[in-house]
Amino acid sequence: MKIRFFHIKLITMAEGEQVIPDGELWTEDGVVSYAGSADGAPNPEGVKWDRQIDGRGNLVIPGFKNAHTHSAMTFLRSFADDLPLAEWLNRQVFPMEAKLTPEDVYHLSKLALMEYLTSGITANFDMYMYPDQIALASADCGFRTVIAGTLNDFSSSLEEENDHYMRLNCFHPLIRYQLGFHAEYTTGESLLKGLSGLAEKHRAPVYCHNSETAAEVAGCVERHKATPTVYLNSLGLFQYGGGGFHCLYMSPEDLEIFQRKRLYAVTNPASNLKLASGIAPVGEMVRLGIPVAIGTDGPASNNCLDMFREMFLVTGLAKVKEQDAAAMPAGEVLRMACCEGARAMGLSDCDSLAAGKRADLVMIDLNQPNMQPENHVMKNLVYSGSKQNVKLTMIDGRILYENGEFRIGEDPSRIYRKANEIMKRCREGLS
């Protein structure tokens, strides 16, 4: 398909956060063929367009990348709130998750994908059980998903991890798989050493939950006389890069390893606040040149999958932690949400809007009260933007969400019904 966007404001992120006030963007067969000023665009006359979209002065940006989530946990949204992390996991989440079937994960993932689209998210870094069903749900909806492995002592093996890596990286153009494990405290040393061998074999990065709570770090120090980052690095897990999800309690040595290895720190501010886990040292990471991406975490601990809220919290919490209102400017946060998330997931072809990049983009409605006046469009986006401003979400050249309507091959009411049926069944017999 050939689609033309014209009469738009444009932030390509290819050369920073500069706004092109009179922009134009063309896509062809899932790829951006032109992104820039209208004056510099080729003559559109004579081109056989499948669709021409008059943006009416609205803003087009690269899609947001949700760099850490557990999509199928939609069934636990608002189910087990207001509890500490350990109690939340062990007494509420794990018993419910034990009742899930692969088919459940398929349907529950679709519910999350719909919410991502309403938030302008065009790719997610998902980490959950039954990765084949996650991949199938995303492919069926036309959504771009990278799956992180969940290797642990209780429900998976090295053989399965290798199998997932080999198969799912060939499954569908929109699906990729990265090696990963749940966390140091759920994965024994023999498995971790085996995973290090897989990373060496495939020359692949490795991802995991890392330093999410003070208790997690203290437990690792007690077991291994080292913080999680130092211990995992000693096992050779990060020879080809990777990253950590959360990264709240980071020692100077931890940060030095992230800096030297170019590991990605994925911050999840809403979830960390709701579980009272803490505030990540994002400002310090940025000063050290550590790449930072943004995730929502799962809908059981957040509870919504909203990149606008996450962006505001990243900048707001950094300002409070640094005691400096100038810390973490809006442009830096937008780069985390659009560009660094893509790179953390291995999606370098989706990190900006430029000729040859994949056509993953969002149109933001500026003709709403929260985006006026247009003193600074990019700052409006980060500081006052919300889901209500997402007018259109395109992935791989296909418009999957526009003006409140979904084009994902399934009736939303059926997805809602399935989610409620799954939750009702899982709650039966729960004390």
For the stretch 15-58, pLDDT in tens is 777 899 999 999 999 999 999 999 999 999 999 999 999 999 99
Does the pTM surpass 0.95? The reply is yes
**pLDDT, tens digit (0-9, with 9 covering 90-100), for 165-175:** 999 999 999 99
pLDDT for the residue 226: 98
Q: Are strands 398-402 and 405-406 parallel, antiparallel or unpaired?
A: antiparallel
Is the pLDDT score of 344 beyond 60?
yes
293-319 average pLDDT score: 97
Nearest CA among 303, 230, 315, 214 for reference residue 267: 315
Q: In the structure, what pLDDT confidence band is assigned to residue 80 with cuts at 50, 70 and 90?
A: confident
**pLDDT, tens digit (0-9, with 9 covering 90-100), for 385-419:** 999 999 999 999 999 999 999 999 999 999 999 99
**Boundaries of every domain in the chain:** 2-62+353-406
55-82 average pLDDT score: 96
Q: In the structure, what pLDDT confidence band is assigned to residue 431 with cuts at 50, 70 and 90?
A: low
**Token pair recorded at residue 393:** 């979400």
Q: Are strands 361-364 and 292-294 parallel, antiparallel or unpaired?
A: unpaired
Is the pLDDT score of 430 beyond 70?
no
The Cα–Cα gap between 302 and 296 comes to: 7
Secondary structure class of 368 (helix, strand, coil): coil
**pLDDT, tens digit (0-9, with 9 covering 90-100), for 204-243:** 999 999 999 999 999 999 999 999 999 999 999 999 999 9
How would DSSP label each residue in 191-232? HHHHHHHHHHHHT--EEEEES-SHHHHHHHHHHHSS-HHHHH
Q: Does domain 2-62+353-406 have CATH number 2.30.40.10?
A: yes
Is the pLDDT score of 367 beyond 80?
yes
Q: In the structure, what pLDDT confidence band is assigned to residue 250 with cuts at 50, 70 and 90?
A: very high
CA dihedral (156, 158, 160, 164) positive or negative = positive
pLDDT for the residue 16: 73
Q: How far, rounded to the nearest angstrom, does the alpha carbon of residue 89 sit from its chain's CA centroid?
A: 21
**pLDDT, tens digit (0-9, with 9 covering 90-100), for 117-170:** 999 999 999 999 999 999 999 999 999 999 999 999 999 999 999 999 999 999
Is the pLDDT score of 103 beyond 60?
yes
The Cα–Cα gap between 8 and 386 comes to: 19
Nearest CA among 49, 57, 60 for reference residue 4: 49
The Cα–Cα gap between 413 and 394 comes to: 22
